[in-house]
Amino acid sequence: MNAPLYTTEILRLAASLPLARSVADPHGRGEKRSATCGSLIRTEVRLDGEGRVAEVAQAVQACAFGQASAALVRRFAVGRGAEDIFAGRARLAGWLGGEGDAPAGFEALAPARCKTGRHGAMLLPFDALIAALQQAGA
């Protein structure tokens, strides 16, 4: 028997996104849209004195996997610098493609690893965050 695609954990993560969708005086903003599914993620960041993410806000219009990934990316980002975030995105992409381990916490997305059409939605929150960091000069 096949395991369910939309697990309780994925749905819980998707529902955990906070209602606050902006950061006061953000240092950077990024927006990414998936050409394949139409998902849209808008991200704002505020950095600390060392260039690490101090605060992140997202506006997410995506499937449950994109929403769950956005919740995980939000948690992952706080306290990290751009280099760690780039590495986290690369690690997630590799894991989705069958290489290596997932970044800590992202194992919840395992049911969608075999659904390559969903990979873009799960990487989109990282891409929007990276765009925001780039605008912030990080």
- Regarding pTM above 0.95, the answer is no
In the three-class reduction of DSSP (H, G, I as helix; E, B as strand; rest coil), residue 71 is classed as helix
pLDDT surpassing 60 at residue 1: no
Task: Label residues 36-54 b or e (16+ Cβ within 10 Å = b).
Answer: ebebbbbbbbbbeeebbbb
Give pLDDT, residue 20. Answer: 66
Inform me whether the pLDDT recorded for 99 exceeds 70.
yes
Which CATH architecture describes the domain 8-135?
Alpha-Beta Complex (3.90)
The amino acid that residue 109 corresponds to is: L
CA distance 124 to 20: 19
Mean pLDDT across the chain, nearest whole number?
Answer: 93
Domain ranges of the chain: 8-135
